[in-house]
Structure 1
Amino acid sequence: MDGIIPLFKPAGLTSHDCVARLRKLLGTKKVGHTGTLDPAVTGVLPICINRATKVAEYMSDYNKTYEAVVSLGSSTTTEDQTGEIVDKKVIDNITSAEIEHVLNEFIGTIKQIPPMYSAVKIDGKKLYEYARAGKTVERPARTVEILSLKLLSDPSRVESGNVTFKIQVSCSKGTYVRTLAVDIGKRLGVPAHMALLVRTQSGPFKLEDTISFDELEEVVNDGRISEYVLPIEKAVSIFPSTTVSGALEQQVLNGAVLEETKSLSNLRTAVYNEQGECLAIYKPHPKRPGWVKPEKVIKI
């Protein structure tokens, strides 16, 4: 069985926990996830099975879409609801128009400082390791892209006295939505944190495509698991493509260098056979202008 399971990651599990559970459930060792989600976060987590692990690196680079609840009035050590409160402020009325004005300022290329409670490495050590030891270290800003940022609900006051609202954000790889929530608060002049996060899309995989662990256990027991494993071709559908036939198909499978054509002139091109199977991912040859080489052969 080769392909991708678009898992609905539940709260309370790490991405590694999900992989371990799927290995046991499916009885196969070759299982890999396509981007870490914090334990408290739920939503789309595509899981690669067997040969599909070859395309996991491309899937980690997908743009992502999230729905998040921003909480104004308090900031935390972790920038989300799991941390200890470090600052509080009574919030006056904030209007949807004020929030939308601030949200628009974040659309495009922005800089983010990774949170201390993150897996980013500084001097060979993960930031959360410093944080747990009570240390704060200098973190270089990272450039990320906010493709869209929308207000999904009007601000409302909750029991804690904080004001919350929901946003939808589509962003590039490496974006910290909790840091975005904190920065939105700063633009509004108040402490803030992210109170909830759901990933609703990762590349071509959407929330409505996902399957839960309970559903997976049921279909595995019924012998219907293959119906819920999506083809590798869906994972690489983000790339321009071309189709080859006959002898050229075998050359591609053998890792041949090919002369560049219009359909092979992209940064990455997915090469298919006439049966619609992805054979390989090709890229421009670094030393031979006008030629392309396989970055990865998929169908072997």
Structure 2
Amino acid sequence: MELSLDFTPASDGIVVVDKPSGLTSHTVVARIRKLAGTRKVGHAGTLDPMATGVLIVGINRATRLLGHLQLADKSYDATIRLGAATTTDDAEGEVVATAPVDGVTADAIAAAVDGFRGEISQVPSKVSAIKVDGRRAYDLVRAGEEVELKARTVTVSRYDILDVRPDADGISVDVSVDCSSGTYIRALARDLGTELGVGGHLTALRRTRVGSFDLSMAHSLESLATTFDWLPIADVAATTFPRYDADDAEAAAIRTGRPLPGLDLEAGQTAMFGPDGTFLALYEPRGPVAKPTAVFVG
């Protein structure tokens, strides 16, 4: 996917940011607003302040495209600390319990990890952004209220142990994970510690991929301030969805979101382009007609 450097505040596109530790995703969006010179900026897939890595940011009309991109599958590199449990399931929380790890072997860790691969039931971390009675769980926890979140089904398609490093106070376990959207890596750390009977929490987290966007495409905020590398909305649509090049009459109908009878499109969404190469809309087949799921011009 080619980068485009001819950005103007009216441009529509995607920026793949390598988020640094210590910043919220909202802060990153605010920085991109200033760099892009437009207020219409949004992101997909929140990262906690301690986490780093791939954050997908949409600009102008591309903010609407974010909801249609295949961003459900994600990859992470993480470090789990065994021997202590915390209030937040990560290193930013207070330690609430500790346990000796003398009897925890690398084989025992590997056997425990086996149980967290595939489709699993997971209770999200209490400091997640999930809403409880209209309020974020993390706000309730910070206010001193007790929060009980329901388990949800998630998929962990890969959970590899990269390194096991015991020391006097605990064991650090480096892992690499591929998972579905909604999976909490902090919860994986917590549950691994619980399974081993010693407690566990997350000490480092780096998101390496979101859908087809990975670290090789990501840019630091510092580099973006020097050279604003972005992906035009047309390029993202053309490489993400099947493409249909409409003629003049079809393009006129697409611009106003009218159905197109007799158009044989692939199942799912197709990116519709005008004769001049402008990305117009996403359409999908519905019976004998193709209908819009989102129109980006007009």
For this structure pair, what is the TM-score category when the shorter chain's length is used for normalisation?
A: 0.7 to 0.9
CA distance in 2, matches of 1:298, 1:80: 40
1:249 alignment counterpart:
251
1:290 alignment counterpart:
288
Aligned CA distance change for structure 1 residues 118 and 238 (closer, same or farther; 3 Å): farther
3-state secondary structure, aligned to 2:61: helix
Choose from 255, 262, 265 the match for 1:263: 265
Count of residue pairs the alignment pairs up: 287
CA distance in 1, matches of 2:108, 2:264: 48
CA distance in 2, matches of 1:87, 1:135: 20
Aligned CA distance change for structure 1 residues 260 and 61 (closer, same or farther; 3 Å): farther
CA distance in 2, matches of 1:60, 1:3: 16
Aligned CA distance change for structure 1 residues 49 and 240 (closer, same or farther; 3 Å): closer
- 1:265 is displaced (CA, Å) by 2.7
1:229 alignment counterpart:
230
More displaced stretch, 68-77 vs 139-148: 139-148
Matched, 1:162 2:170: yes
1:10 alignment counterpart:
20
CA distance in 1, matches of 2:237, 2:81: 37
- 1:63 is displaced (CA, Å) by 1.4
Matched, 1:101 2:111: yes
1:215 alignment counterpart:
223
TM-score, normalised relative to structure 1:
0.87
Counterpart residue identity of residue 60, structure 2: N
Aligned CA distance change for structure 1 residues 95 and 173 (closer, same or farther; 3 Å): same
CA distance in 2, matches of 1:21, 1:11: 15
Counterpart residue identity of residue 254, structure 1: T
Unaligned runs of 5+ in 2: 1-10
Counterpart residue identity of residue 53, structure 2: G
- 1:260 is displaced (CA, Å) by 6.3
Aligned CA distance change for structure 1 residues 26 and 180 (closer, same or farther; 3 Å): same
1:124 alignment counterpart:
134
Question: Contact conserved, 2:118 with 2:157, CA < 8 A, in 1?
Answer: yes
Choose from 107, 121, 135 the match for 1:111: 121
- 1:80 is displaced (CA, Å) by 0.5
1:174 alignment counterpart:
182
Question: Contact conserved, 1:35 with 1:60, CA < 8 A, in 2?
Answer: no
CA distance in 2, matches of 1:63, 1:234: 21
1:222 alignment counterpart:
none
Aligned CA distance change for structure 1 residues 96 and 231 (closer, same or farther; 3 Å): farther
What CA deviation, in whole Å up to 9, does each residue of 1:70-127 have, x standing for no partner?
1100010000010000010010253433333322322222111122112111111211
Choose from 26, 41, 50 the match for 1:31: 41
- 1:30 is displaced (CA, Å) by 1.3
What CA deviation, in whole Å up to 9, does each residue of 1:140-196 have, x standing for no partner?
11121112111122x11246x110111111111111110011112222222000110
Choose from 188, 194, 198 the match for 2:196: 188
Question: Contact conserved, 2:76 with 2:205, CA < 8 A, in 1?
Answer: yes
Choose from 174, 198, 205 the match for 1:197: 205
- 1:296 is displaced (CA, Å) by 0.3
Aligned CA distance change for structure 1 residues 189 and 234 (closer, same or farther; 3 Å): farther
- 1:55 is displaced (CA, Å) by 0.8
Matched, 1:89 2:99: yes
- 1:138 is displaced (CA, Å) by 2.5
1:280 alignment counterpart:
281
Counterpart residue identity of residue 165, structure 2: S
TM-score, normalised relative to structure 2:
0.88
Q: What is the percent sequence identity of the aligned residues?
A: 39
Question: Contact conserved, 1:10 with 1:41, CA < 8 A, in 2?
Answer: yes
- 1:248 is displaced (CA, Å) by 2.0
Question: Contact conserved, 2:265 with 2:285, CA < 8 A, in 1?
Answer: no
CA distance in 2, matches of 1:141, 1:108: 16
Choose from 145, 149, 152 the match for 1:139: 149
More displaced stretch, 92-101 vs 70-79: 92-101
The within-5 A match list for 1:146-157 is: 146-153=156-163, 155-157=164-166
Question: Contact conserved, 1:149 with 1:168, CA < 8 A, in 2?
Answer: yes
- 1:279 is displaced (CA, Å) by 2.5
